A and B are shown apart, each in its own frame.
Chain A
């Protein structure tokens, strides 16, 4: 247990020790080597880098250097990332054996290891992380602590104003004032639908009930999205603090966080954070003698996309099949075990401490008229700088894809960006200048979603992509309501038919009709948004659908059944490699003479094209 005074002592002392993390000119002989411990960098062996660095420090009797495992820095494409502070030198794509040079050259000789510096898209060599174009247009609020602190050390969180917002709420504000700040900030739900957070809080506060609950939705199911995971891995205490503030505001003393079991690092760090907060007496009974109690528990998901839907999530916390409930009543009135329950997602919570500390106006000054603050996106797919990006609302897609993301690799052209995952839509080039906010994305047939942003180049077939999302929905539909369970299956069958080259023009009308019916008649958000990928591709890439139907060709060359392999006689040298590799003997030809493919026999496996040394085979 620590008293408020003791916590303040820690804050002052540790903050001074950590000055070198944020101040390049910090007056210290110490150095901190920060190594990314997010899931991406961990997969690329960052724990071994840490081990090696620590071993070398010990072997060399170096006493003024510490190695710290942090959360995600954001630029996953250049991971594992290592940063040396206070001089703020940024090393990219570091391998375990590079620890030798970092210690021998950087630490011992005080020289930069030039070969480990990062190259920007324009090939210029960058010394500091924020010199990269990737970071120039970003503004980090939710991700503020990620890559700065050790997420497994509560003192480091406290040092950077951690739990100060909670203190402010408990001692200076009443619940209504807290809710007013959140309302005035303009913060809206970051899970996808964008419901005003302050409103949700006030509904839950007004609801009658002897017991109320606060829930954090960390069931980040959109494939290709990893914002919430990175927040939990990089700054778990931010979420705990925000849930406690929410508990104080709505009158709840028990919280649950529902996390995907597929995120073991996030689960482990969050549990460590809960344990530390309990040890410090921040979580528990009669916190800081204010009479406010709060307890927090982790509940693991078990791999069901639908559990990201709030009522399905509640069912799952209660230990049942995650099937959505009928709304109303909304969780604010009847949630967990029928009690008033507040549910927000991870990123929404991560914004709260900053809003309380800096005020509503500070937050509402960022962003657009209807969408305030920042949004974190997981930028992935065919883009150079894959990673985590936090930008003010109103930033355009073009800025994210080209300025921050560094454009499309391999000299290919941009074709579409997909936001909102299986619930969102594909955005074509003509709408790249759309400012990102809830309304604008909705107006062009997509949605904000939780923050997955997948970029696709011109080698991607939009019909095939729509099919991919429908396969996902069919798989993940919980089966409770008919439009979603059967409707999406029928849509998938039609898409399959088109991709196989058996589509007819009236299929497109059928698809549209089905889609609209499913949207209208489904019980929950999963079904109501499932047709979006099909509708948006039909709207912007209808020609591509028609090419599959009328000409039986896939312009992008992705649909296997429609591929026609052809050997260019001018390029073929008659080496016979394709003939030997064809599994069905569909290729014939004399040595040193151009070969030909028998279309009737060809199974379109592509083995010939892969093997041809002269790139003579095209589809």
Chain B
């Protein structure tokens, strides 16, 4: 969401739609942030301002809550967010090696996004698919019994798909 002067951009109207669903009660802050995060993939300064005005709390308070919870981010994630599970079951089964491989291939660290905005890496705690450990997810798709080779070939496939789309 870019800075908007008129307050009527598409994003802003969508945000107002989300806000309308909730009473002006500050206990709804986390519910609203969850919705905004899900919709836009991050919570922009503009959105924070809008939310703080709606609930009648300071922006500092909104910012404080955002930075406390790991689901909320201040920057957009990549088009493909690769989340490697570092829960105990996955860790014991070698998920660190998978994470190392992702970092090595994408040349970015956990919490960062590649320059072209295509990939970001996240280290998550337990997605609950411990029976398939080690596990990583690409957006909502879960990949179980993961190996460094597997994640390598998936990144390769996504890159190829994206390239062929770009060529068209």
Contacts and interface: CB of A to CB of B under 8 A. Distances in A.
A-B interaction: yes
Nearest to A297: B31
Contacts of B142: 43
B88 A302 contact: no
Contact of A386 (B64, B88, B127, B130): B130
B71 A302 contact: yes
B70 A321 contact: no
Contacts of B131: 40, 76-77, 79, 380, 386-387
Contacts of A299: 30-31
Nearest to A318: B27
A261 B71 contact: yes
Contacts of B19: none
A223 B92 CA distance: 11
B69 A302 contact: yes
B26 A319 contact: yes
Interface string A280-322: 0000000000000000000111111100000000001111111
A303 B69 contact: yes
Interface string B104-134: 0000000000000000000011111111110
Interface in A373-397: 378, 380-382, 386-387
B98 interface: no
Given A302-B33, A319-B27, A320-B65, A224 B88 contact: yes
B53 to A, nearest CB: 16
B88 A321 contact: no
**Which one of B26, B31, B132, B135 has the greatest number of beta carbons of chain A within 10 Å?**
B132
B108 to A, nearest CB: 19
A317 B27 contact: yes
Interface bin, chain A: 35 or more
Contact of B125 (A223, A300, A322): A223
A1 B65 CA distance: 40
B89 interface: yes
Contacts of A469: 88
A226 to B, nearest CB: 5
Given A261-B34, A386-B130, A387-B131, A421 B88 contact: yes
Interface string B75-110: 000000000001111111100000000000000000
A279 to B, nearest CB: 21
Nearest to A385: B131
Nearest to B86: A223
Contact of A380 (B68, B69, B88, B124): B88
Contact of B88 (A44, A223, A316): A223
Contact of B130 (A40, A44, A305, A320): A40
A355 to B, nearest CB: 27
A319 B30 contact: yes
Given A300-B30, A303-B69, A321-B65, A39 B88 contact: no
Interface string A77-91: 101000000000000
B161 to A, nearest CB: 20
Contacts of A221: 125
A418 B126 CA distance: 16
Contact of A224 (B29, B130, B144): B130
Given A418-B88, A452-B88, A454-B92, A302 B130 contact: no
B89 A43 contact: no
A604 interface: no
B72 A472 contact: no
Interface in A197-228: 221-226
A468 B88 contact: yes
B87 A224 contact: yes
A77 B68 CA distance: 35
A303 B130 CA distance: 18
Contact of A454 (B26, B28, B34, B89): B89
A460 interface: yes
A565 interface: no
A172 B87 CA distance: 46
Nearest to A380: B89
Nearest to B33: A302
Contacts of B89: 223-224, 378, 380-381, 386, 454
A519 interface: no
A263 interface: yes
Contact of B128 (A229, A304, A305): A229
Contacts of A100: none
Contacts of A465: 92
A460 B92 contact: yes
B132 A468 contact: no
A51 interface: no
B89 to A, nearest CB: 4
Interface string A330-345: 0000000000000000
Interface in A457-473: 460, 465, 468-469, 472
A456 interface: yes
Given A300-B34, A317-B27, A320-B65, A40 B128 contact: yes
A44 B124 CA distance: 19
A520 B71 CA distance: 31
Interface in B1-47: 25-31, 33-34
Nearest to B87: A223
Nearest to A230: B128
Given A386-B131, A454-B88, A223 B93 contact: no
A386 B64 CA distance: 39
A380 B95 CA distance: 14
Interface in A385-437: 386-387, 418, 421
Nearest to B148: A610
**Which one of A261, A320, A386 has the greatest number of beta carbons of chain B within 10 Å?**
A320
A39 B89 CA distance: 15
Contact of A300 (B31, B68, B124, B133): B31
Contacts of B71: 261-262, 302-303
Contacts of B135: 43
Given A76-B132, A319-B28, A386-B131, 12 more contacts: A76-B131, A223-B91, A224-B88, A229-B128, A261-B71, A299-B31, A301-B69, A303-B72, A316-B30, A454-B92, A456-B92, A460-B92
Closest 7 CB pairs of A and B: A76-B131, A223-B87, A302-B69, A380-B89, A224-B88, A43-B142, A303-B70
Interface of A: 39-40, 43-44, 76-77, 79, 221-226, 229, 261-263, 299-305, 316-322, 378, 380-382, 386-387, 418, 421, 452, 454, 456, 460, 465, 468-469, 472, 478
22 contacts: A39-B129, A43-B144, A44-B144, A222-B88, A222-B126, A223-B88, A223-B125, A224-B87, A262-B124, A317-B27, A318-B26, A318-B27, A319-B25, A320-B29, A378-B89, A380-B131, A381-B88, A381-B92, A382-B92, A386-B130, A421-B88, A468-B91
